[in-house]
Each structure stands twice: as C-alpha cells, then as structure tokens.
Amino acid sequence: MPAQARLPGDKAANKAAASTALLRSLAGGLLIALPVVAIGLLVMAFAPAYLVRIAFAAYVNLLIVLGLQIFMGNSMVANLGQGAFVGIGAYTVAILATPIAMKKMSIPNAPFGLSHIAIDPLAAAGAGLGIAGIVALLTGFVVARVSGEAATILTFSLLMIVHSVFIHWTDLFKGAQAFFGIPQVVSLQTAIALSVAGILLARLFKDSRVGLQLRASAESLLAARAFGVDVVRLRLIAWVVGALFCAAGGILYAYFMGTINARAFHFELVLTTLAMLILGGLRTVSGAVVGCALLSILLEAIRTLENGITIGDWQTPPLLGLSGLAMGGVIVFSMIFRPKGMIPRLEFDEALRHWWGRRRSAGTQTGPETDSTSDGEASKAR
C-alpha cells in the first residue's frame, strides 16, 4: 500500500492533503505563467508600438484559449462558440462605457435609452461579465445536456445567432460598421496581469474536484455516472467559467483597441483560438499557453506574407486565404499526427517533478520514489 494511504475518516489528513494539492496547483500555474510574464515585460520594455499591439492581441487570444481549454479540455466537447462570448463582453463594454458624446454620433437610436448613459469602465466590465454569464447559463442549459457532438453543433449555432444579432440590430450594435469611441483604459500591464490570473484559475479548475470529475466523465461517461457524478451540472459550470474567460478577453480587446467590429468575433477568431488550443494540447493549461505563443508568431509571419512582401525589387502577390489555410492545416495535421497536442498530458511542473523524481531514483537506486500521491502513481497506473 502506498505510504500515504488514508483512512476515510481521517479528516485532518484529508484537509492537509487538499491544501498541499491546492498549493501545488498554484505553484504549477505560476510556473506556467512565468514565461508569459517574462515575454510581456520584454515587449513592454523594448518593443516598438506595433509589436506591443501584436503582443496585446496575443494576450487577448490567450485568455480566450484558456477559456476554451477550461471547457473543451476538461469535458472533451468541442466548442465552436467562443466568438459569441468574446463579442458579448466587448459589445457590452462598448455600449455602456463609451462617452455620451460619442454615442450620440454612432448609436443615436439605441433602445432602452442606452445612448444617454455612460458608466465607468470598471463597472461596465463587470456588467459585461455579468451579461456573458447569464447568456452562458441559459445556453449552457441546453449545451450541457445533449451529447457531445450535438453540443458542438449547438455552440456553432450560438456563434451564428449572436453574430447575426450583432449584424442586424444596427440600432444598438452598429452592424457591420466599426463601433468607435470606446475609452482606451488598459495597457499591456493589465493584459499580463489578467493572463496570469487566468492561467492560475484554469489550473486550479483543472485540478479541482469539478475539473477532475469532468475529465473522468470525458474518459468514460458511463463509469462517471455510475460513480454519481452529475455530468450535466459539471459541464454547465465549465461552460459558464469558460464563457466568462472569453468575455474577459473581449472586454480587454475593446478597452485596448477603442473600436470594435462584429467581424472580429466570428469565424476567424474561432478558428485561430481553436487551432492554438489543438496545437498546444487540449488537456493541459501549459498546452494552451504554448499553442497560443507558437501560433501568434506563425500567424504574424503568415499575415505579412498574405499581404505581399517586397524583396528588393520583387513584390510577391497578395495571397488572400493563406492564414485560413494555415490554421486549417494546423488543425488537420495536429489531429492526424498528434491529436493530443504538443503538451499532451503533463503540465510543466508535473513534468519537472516527474523528471526530478526519476533522476533521484536513478541516482539513489531505491526504486520509484514515493514522492506524492497523485503524480507518480497516477502516471504509472495509466
């Protein structure tokens, strides 16, 4: 029997183990967040303005990918509707926080008298999260209880519905035109801070009871139900939390760019964030971060190529569709050759601990180290 075998009634030991696990998750999250912060600080210190903007977009994408990971990675249900929540967050903030003078120009006929009020950015952000949460709750009610593939179709329909509302309700959302005048109150620091918080939360969620049971249900629905796991409730929780993350990304985006447009929250966003998560690895938070970083760089390179580059005297023709092709290609090749992504199972800190444990046991030759309950045993039991 493992050295840490606990009697079921040993409440104090359980509590101690739980808090160790919590601290471990937090530490793991901080480790994953470290390169994110480092890159951000470098960009802030040395990069020209256009690079700052690109980096900011990458951080926004990171938040969205994290939200995607929370739902998709734990429940293994493909989610194609993240653009809807990003848009809801962004537009709520745009409508509520834009100064009244601007609003009278862009949306003079807004219903509910919204063109006459303007609230402060923080409150508007809260409202954005709140509304996204409500929509997530209502839609999650359906998404959580249908089977996995049907749920995916419904998330896609959600994307289409929300997009069509944005485009057609021009009185409120300005349709396909840009909604300008949003107060630009955030900077790269906020983005970095929010990303770190997001990584920690995603990691905590994954290692929490909800996350663990959800992942179990993804492996075998029948067994999980037999254990009394309420899969519908768990999926709902993951869906709402993921949606809040996406809305936060949208809010950040709106407050940085100062102007938003419904097309930014449609297919391209869904495709990019999906490709990032799949490339990096669905099941791990580290995978989300790695995928986001890699594809942000790749996407920038491809976008420059798409617009045509000039090498000396020679101008390459614009190749519209190249970025979409690349994203789709990334998804297809990842699915065929490495479906679990680049970081399939072990988070950074788990891998480190695993490697450290193996080195130590190889050095002392006393057999597998009983380093912890979870990591060593679980990864061997697989």
Partner 1 sequence: MDYAIQQFVNALAFGAEYALIALGLALVYSIMNLMNFAHGEIIASAGYSMYLAILIGFDSPWLVAPIAVAAGALAAMLFERIAFRPVRHAPATTGLLTAFGVSIVVQNLFTLLVSPRPRAVPVLTGLNQTIFIGPYAISSLQLLELLTVAVAITGLVLFLKRSTLGLAIRAATREFSTVRLMGVRANRVIAAAFALSGLLAGIAAIFIVARRGSIDPDFGFQPVIKAFVACVLGGFGSLGGAVFGGMLLGFLDVAIVILLPQDMGGLSDAITYSIIAALLVWRPDGLLTRRIELGDKEI
Tokens linked to 47: 């990069």
Question: What is the rounded (10 degree) CA torsion for 336, 339, 342, 345?
Answer: -160
Smallest gap from Cβ 304 to partner 1, in A, equals 16
Tokens of 219: 């492996």
CB of 234 to partner 1, least distance (A): 16
Residue 286 Cβ vs partner 1, minimum distance, rounded to whole Å: 20
Q: Which is nearer to partner 1, 16 or 319 (CB)?
A: 319
Q: Which is nearer to partner 1, 20 or 316 (CB)?
A: 316
> Measured from the CB of residue 141, what is the shortest distance to partner 1 in angstroms?
7
Cβ closest to partner 1, residue 2 vs residue 321: 321
Would you tell me which residues interact with partner 1 (CB under 8 A)?
76-78, 80, 139, 141-142, 145-150, 152-154, 156-158, 160-161, 164-165, 167-169, 221-222, 225, 271, 274, 278, 319-322, 324-325, 327-332, 335-336, 339
CB 187, min distance to partner 1, A: 34
Instruction: Decide whether 13 or 325 has the Cβ nearer to partner 1.
Output: 325
The residue among 206 and 353 lying less far from partner 1, judged by its C-beta, is: 206
- Tell the smallest beta-carbon distance from residue 97 to partner 1 (Å): 26
Return the number of the residue (43 or 159) whose C-beta is nearest partner 1. Answer: 159
Residues in the chain: 382
First CA to last CA distance, the chain: 18
Q: Would you call 311 helix, strand, or coil by DSSP?
A: strand
Pairwise CA distance, residues 314 & 303, whole Å:
18
How far, CA to CA in Å, does 187 sit from each of 98, 193, 333? 18, 10, 36
| Amino acid letter, 350 | E
User: Of the two residues 30 and 322, which places its CB atom closer to partner 1 in the complex?
Assistant: 322
Alpha helices, DSSP H only, in the chain? 11-46, 49-68, 74-75, 82-97, 100-106, 121-143, 148-168, 170-173, 188-207, 209-219, 221-226, 231-257, 267-280, 285-306, 322-337, 348-364, 374-381
Report yes or no: 38 and 231 within 8 Å, Cβ to Cβ: no
The rounded distance, in Å, linking the Cα atoms of 351 and 354 is 5
C-beta of 207: minimal distance to partner 1 in Å?
Answer: 22
Cα maximum dimension of the chain:
78
